[in-house]
Amino acid sequence: MATNPSPNAQQLRADAARNREIVLAAATRAFATSDTEPSMRAIARQAGVGVATVYRHFPTREALVDAVYRDQVVRLTGGAHELVAAHPPAHALRLWMDLFGDWVATKHGMTDTLLAMIDSGEISLAHTRQELLSAISTILDAGAAAGDIRADASAEDVSAGILGMLAVAAKSGDPAQARRLLDLLMDGLRPASRRA
């Protein structure tokens, strides 16, 4: 017969889960703002925990990169549904573009490890791509039904446009350029009768 865990055991599990989330959030920030891959010790410092706590939850750098990467994909895909439920589709898509830009920025400080993991097959780009295209399609379908977004817009084209604009803006050194370029893309996705 199973016994209920003691309040102390429940508290320990809750503390461990909270620590894991704190480390994950700190790693996400560190990867997004660092020019080079931050050390596990630097991530622990940013999280306000000991390095042993980081290693307890993420025994390797690859485990941490994988967790951050997957967490961001979940946030992007879930974000599409949340945004389209809360905003008109065109506005939801423009907000989602910003989420996508944040996701791209997060990968900045983990590029070397991420590329090695992709090369080894530990992370599947094809699966991630399908999840992201599905998220974009969710918003595009809602926009086409509402007459808010052109019906001929494809998730593949929107994804390529976002990626291209973010790449150009990253090289320009002008942080506001990404926002301006994404606004232009969004204007092009509206039906002619709804363009600003």
Q: How many residues are recorded in the chain?
A: 196
Rounded distance between C-alpha atoms, residue 75 and residue 133, angstroms: 14
Mean pLDDT per block of 10 residues along the chain (196 residues) reads 61 81 92 86 94 93 90 90 96 94 79 83 84 95 96 94 88 84 94 72
Which among 93, 86, 21, 87 is positioned nearest to 53, based on CA atoms?
Answer: 21
| Structure tokens, 190 | 């509206």
Residue 36, pLDDT score: 82
What pLDDT does residue 127 have? 84
Instruction: Give Cα separations from 141 to 7, 84, 146, 149, 163 (angstroms).
Output: 47, 10, 9, 8, 20
Against a cut of 0.85, is the pTM above it?
Answer: no
**What pLDDT was estimated at residue 13?**
79
pLDDT for res 192 = 83
Task: Catalogue all structural domains in the chain, each as residue range(s) with its CATH number.
Answer: 1-59 (1.10.10), 60-194 (1.10.357.10)
Which pLDDT belongs to residue 108? 73
Reduce the DSSP state of residue 122 to 3 states and report it.
coil
Give the span between the Cα atoms of 25 and 4, in whole angstroms.
Answer: 31
pLDDT of 4 = 64
